[in-house]
Amino acid sequence: MTAPLLKVENLRIELTTRDGVAPVIDDLSFELGAGESISFVGESGCGKSMTALGIMGLLPEKVGRVASGSINFAGEELSTATEKRMREIRGNDISMIFQEPMTSLNPVYTVGEQIAEVLRAHQNLSKAAAWASAIELLDAVRIPNAQRRVSDYPFQMSGGQRQRVMIAIALACKPKILIADEPTTALDVTIQAQIFDLLNDMKRQTGAAIIMITHDMGAVAEMAERMIVMYAGRNAEQGPVEQIIERPRHPYSKGLIACVPHIMATLTEERRELTEVAGIVPSLREFGKNRCLFASRCNMVTQKCLDKRPPEVAFEGQQMSACWHAEAV
Amino acid sequence: MSDDPEVLLDVKDLTVRFGVKRGGLFGEPKYLYAVDDISFQIKRGKTLAIVGESGSGKTTAALAVARLVEAYKGTVDLDGTDFLTLEDEDLRQARAKMQFIFQDPYSSLNPRVRAEKIVREPLDNLESGAKEDRQQIVDKLFEAVGLHPEQQRLFPHQFSGGQRQRIGIARALATQPDLIICDEPVSALDVAVQAQILNLLRKLQTDFGLTFLFISHDLGVVQHMCDTIVVMYMGKVVEYADRLSLFNNPLHPYTVALLSAVPSVDKKRRAEMKRILIPGDPPDPLDLPKGCRFANRCPVAIERCKTEQPILNEVALGHQVACHLVDERAVSPLS
Ligand SMILES: Nc1ncnc2c1ncn2[C@@H]1O[C@H](COP(=O)(O)OP(=O)(O)OP(=O)(O)O)[C@@H](O)[C@H]1O
Ligand SMILES: Nc1ncnc2c1ncn2[C@@H]1O[C@H](COP(=O)(O)OP(=O)(O)O)[C@@H](O)[C@H]1O
Ligand code: SF4
Ligand code: SF4
Ligand SMILES: [Mg+2]
Ligand SMILES: [Mg+2]
């Protein structure tokens, strides 16, 4: 087996807030192979974005830091890399598409200028060559009339178009890993379908690995080969997407799948009540405690769950669940 | 007025336009037709959903039904009275029969008012019953939506998003309305909390015999909640059908594309579903094409579509479609 492109081991990221220091990411390990796609799922506040920012070296200044563990990218340790080196990595190897396209584009520059700037910073292109490349990229992300739209300002574009510009910028440096943090949450499903299609195409063409963060199991099923279900900063379950959807081994993954009214192949008159997962994600203050953090919402909870953090149990086919009663789920 | 006593809400030819100034100081005032001549009916105790992409006119239609924006044309018949022409006391009484639940549980509640007062306010405004009776109703409402009695004294910021939405629902129920308009009631919530609220809404519907006008862009949620669906595109109704017909036999090319775009956990559906990508963007609402509004993105458009607007046509029992290529055979041109 070849070494994975990205190997995260026992990662712990701490945030310092008014309430003290809390592990927003608590002992997280996973691997990503070249050209592979993996999804992070979970409700908001579970630490999905923090994981992404941790990998990118973009944790909130003075607030967040990698406390222990390792983030290894192609043999190089990123958690201790200098800011200068991280800037290079971000420009050339790992790029990210953020949740809100409007806030991540600069309103006072045209989209062409913004793409060209990235190209020039990382690829030593002349002004004219960068501009030509920017048009090509806009064309590649299927902005109609790229030649003309390259001179548009972000506000002149629709949400879907802005997100496509963000993808163009993220792809400008031909990254080996593309991290997409809820890239379609604010968009209509027809636009989402376009973006997914585009990402899959790009993946095929450039061989980039994709980390997609989402709360939509349907999107996971469509976009990823493996998934990591996160809960309160921890890995709840990990494994091949189809396998987990068919046979989740953690009550939280099971709940996430069952609480959503999915559209099935054929609709019938019957509509059963949605399975409820009572309660909400705990606040950061609860993170890191030595017990199962899902216990207050779990209908399989026993004393053991309250006394000690559950270890990760391995199942056939690379599936892993952090639950004391995983066998019984 | 509808002759069918089963019908609670009968909306006919509803049109809403907004005046938008364009083209300099002396530019002609232009009108944006956000809702353009739409009609639908909801039967008592049933749920009708409006779906469609952002900007298609869903919210505007709902607001016009509730008279929260002014309709330019059309009628809204609520339980036999013409709601849009009512005045003063009649209007106040009729308003109590129609309540709104908003998308954003964070901004739709007054942050300085305690939960109990938020829920009681509609009753106070109506001055109905003695004060103690109103308090009793509030107690019952808190229980009905799954909040604890001691939470009545708290302010909105002391609740989670889902709990805030419960407060909004309790408030909407206070005046014992017949119709509740829900505009994206769960889109701001996490999936697990969405399930809690959706289950609650369905339970309340049964318990109180409520009728829902339900707006959502999440087709999974719509499928679960509604009996009838109106699909809007650029202010127009393009398809109008009961739940099973719409999901199992969508006919309008836009509806087909919309449904095919929904990602699914169902392996079978993923294998069977041919994804129809519709390129490009919807047209400028201030500069609508003469023909079909979907023509520039429609994969099967013909010449006629560019010049002639299709009208809504009943192609099967309870199934209306506005497309030149759909007729009584009820076969989608995309199949
Ligand atoms: N007060 C207003 N003045 C001018 N135009 C408006 C106004 N309110 C809405 N519009 C326009 O009317 C159209 C329909 O808007 P509406 O809010 O009803 O859409 P929607 O279907 O609810 O969309 P979403 O899914 O984004 O909520 C849009 O083009 C919108 O920009
Ligand atoms: N800049 C910050 N300062 C303090 N706490 C933060 C900050 N950013 C995120 N958090 C907290 O970290 C936790 C995880 O957040 P995040 O990674 O954004 O979750 P997700 O992406 O899964 O929704 C949440 O409790 C959130 O409130
Ligand atoms: S460890 Fe216990 S509380 Fe946690 S998910 Fe498993 S059964 Fe539930
Ligand atoms: S009328 Fe023409 S353009 Fe419009 S949906 Fe039908 S086929 Fe497509
Ligand atoms: Mg996030
Ligand atoms: Mg709306």
Residues of chain B contacting residue A267, judged by C-beta atoms under 8 Å apart: 223, 243-244, 247-248
Residues 122-151, chain A, touching B (beta carbon < 8 A): 142, 144
Contact status, residue A252 vs residue A231, Cβ threshold 8 Å: yes
Return d(Cα A13, Cα A22) in angstroms, integer: 8
Question: In this structure, which long-range contacts are made by residues B58-64, counting pairs with CB atoms below 8 Å and at least 24 apart in sequence?
Answer: B58/B183, B58/B215, B58/B232, B59/B183, B59/B215, B60/B16, B60/B34, B60/B35, B61/B14, B61/B16, B61/B35, B61/B232, B62/B100, B62/B181, B62/B183, B62/B213, B62/B215, B63/B16, B64/B14, B64/B16, B64/B35
The neighbourhood of ligand 5, an ion, using CB within 5 A, equals: A 49
Contact B263 A266 (CB under 8 A): no
Q: Strand pairing partners for B334? A: none
Residue bearing the bigger pLDDT, A170 or A289: A289
Residue bearing the bigger pLDDT, A145 or B23: A145
Q: Which ligand is nearest to the CA of A191?
A: 1
Residues 308-327, chain A, touching B (beta carbon < 8 A): none
pTM, rounded to two decimals? 0.91
Tell me the average pLDDT across A24-47: 96
On whether the B7-233 domain is CATH 3.30.360.10, my answer is no
Task: Return the C-alpha torsion angle A102, A107, A111, A114, nearest 10.
Answer: -100
Tell me which H or E stretch contains A122. helix A111-123
Q: Is beta strand A319-321 parallel, antiparallel or unpaired with respect to B7-21? A: unpaired
Q: Is B281 on the interface with A (CB under 8 A)?
A: yes
Q: Is the C-beta atom of B295 inside 6 A of ligand 4?
A: yes
- pLDDT value, residue A101: 58
Q: Is B104 on the interface with A (CB under 8 A)?
A: no
Contact A221 B247 (CB under 8 A): no
* CA B303 remoteness from chain centre: 33
Tell me the average pLDDT across A160-169: 86
Give the Å distance between the CA of A46 and the centre of ligand 2: 8
Return d(Cα B259, Cα B256) in angstroms, integer: 5
- In ligand 2, which atom is closest to the CA atom of A60? 1
Which protein residue's CA is at the shortest distance from atom 6 of ligand 3? A323
- pLDDT value, residue B68: 94
Q: Is the C-beta atom of B298 inside 6 A of ligand 4?
A: yes
Residues of chain A contacting residue B267, judged by C-beta atoms under 8 Å apart: 221, 242
Tell me the average pLDDT across A150-174: 86
Contact status, residue A229 vs residue A294, Cβ threshold 8 Å: no
- pLDDT value, residue A299: 95
Give the Å distance between the CA of A171 and the centre of ligand 4: 35
The ranges assigned to domains in chain B are 7-233, 250-335
Q: Which residues contact A55 (CB under 8 A, 6 or more apart)?
A: A6, A8, A71, A78, A94, A179, A211
Q: Which residues contact B333 (CB under 8 A, 6 or more apart)?
A: B253, B300, B323, B325, B326
Q: Is B221 on the interface with A (CB under 8 A)?
A: yes
Using CA coordinates, name the residue in chain A closest to B52. A188
Q: Is the C-beta atom of B292 inside 6 A of ligand 4?
A: yes
- pLDDT value, residue A103: 64
- pLDDT digit string (tens) for chain B, length 335 residues: 557 889 999 999 999 999 987 666 667 788 999 999 999 999 999 999 999 998 899 999 999 999 999 999 999 999 999 999 999 999 988 999 999 998 877 788 899 999 999 999 999 988 878 888 999 999 999 999 999 998 999 999 888 888 999 999 999 999 999 999 999 999 888 899 999 999 999 999 999 999 999 999 899 999 999 999 999 999 999 999 999 999 999 999 999 999 999 999 988 998 888 899 898 788 888 889 999 999 999 999 999 999 999 999 999 999 999 999 999 999 999 98
Return d(Cα A36, Cα A192) in angstroms, integer: 21
Q: Is A217 on the interface with B (CB under 8 A)?
A: yes
Contact status, residue A320 vs residue A227, Cβ threshold 8 Å: no
For residue A305, count other CB atoms closer than 10 A to its CB.
21
Q: Is the C-beta atom of B250 inside 6 A of ligand 4?
A: no
Q: Which residues contact A67 (CB under 8 A, 6 or more apart)?
A: A12, A13, A14, A23
Q: Which residues contact A123 (CB under 8 A, 6 or more apart)?
A: A130, A173
What tokens does A51 get? 């994981």
Q: Which of B47, B56, B191 is the mutation pick for testing A, counting most A CBs within 10 A?
A: B191
Per-residue three-class SS string for B163-213 = HHHHHHHHHHHCCCCCEEEEECCCCCCCHHHHHHHHHHHHHHHHHHCCEEE
Task: Return the C-alpha torsion angle A97, A101, A104, A110, nearest 10.
Answer: 110
pLDDT band at A186 (very low <50, low <70, confident <90, very high): confident
Burial class (CB in 10 A: 0-12, 13-18, 19+), A3: exposed
Q: Which residues contact B45 (CB under 8 A, 6 or more apart)?
A: B205, B209, B210, B211
- pLDDT value, residue B2: 59
- pLDDT value, residue A102: 55
Q: Which of B53, B196, B264 has the CB atom closest to A188's CB atom?
A: B53
Q: How many CB pairs below 8 Å do chains A and B form together?
A: 131
